[in-house]
Amino acid sequence: MARAADIPLLIAGLGNPGSEYARNRHNVGFMAIDEIHDRHRFGPFKTRFRGDVAEGTLAGRKAFLLKPLTFMNESGIAVGAFARFYKLPLAAIVVIHDDLDLIAGKLKVKTGGGDAGHNGLRSITSALGPDYRRLRIGIGHPGHKERVYGHVLGNFSRADEDWLVPLLHAIAEAGPLLAEDDDAGFVNKVTLLTARPAKAAGTPPRPKDT
């Protein structure tokens, strides 16, 4: 029986192709993939399986990064084709996606479950079944159902950059833990890396100039 470390890892980030969508909240999966790619010096992206694919290693394990070029609603075409070609078990697939149900900047990792109205997840589940790993990045909810479409396809604001940039850096830094199948350790490391230092208790106020 093959060890998990002997099975390639696929990390698929979800988004829509094209420069007009590049900074959309819905494209945070693509952004995370690019950060992992640069931090861990993966090879160049090449078009395969109707997606952009890069090859490298994480924690000594062969790993692939995938950005589907099929648009969000048909993400399962690219992810499914890749998984079937390499005969990957679902435990070797991590899908990074935006999540309306998490507050902005919150991150969670889970295996399996429903799609919560996310069309990219629905497409992948239709192609492969539900039991792949999901890295959920919160983008917050706009408050009203009618505003959801504009929210997810709207660009991150300048204020969002305050949490988004550190979070993407932390995801890339902690990425090797995903290759070690240590999802809890991954979340803990991201949490530590993004925690803002608390003001020391009992620190006396700075004296006023006189």
Catalytic residue positions, numbered = 26
Q: Which amino acid is at 160?
A: D
3-state secondary structure of 87: coil
Which one, of 189, 192, 125, 132, lies nearest residue 9 by Cα?
A: 132
Task: Specify whether the CB–CB gap between 24 and 155 falls below 8 A.
Answer: yes
Judge contact between 13 and 32, C-beta under 8 A.
yes
The residue to which tokens 């020391």 are assigned: 200
Four-CA torsion 167, 140, 122, 37, nearest 10 degrees: -20
Q: CA-CA distance, 90 to 132, in Å (whole number)?
A: 5
In the sheet that holds 46-48, the strands lie side by side as 46-48, 51-58, 61-68, 9-13, 93-99, 133-138, 107-111
Question: Is residue 133 a contact partner of residue 173, using CB atoms and an 8 Å limit?
Answer: no
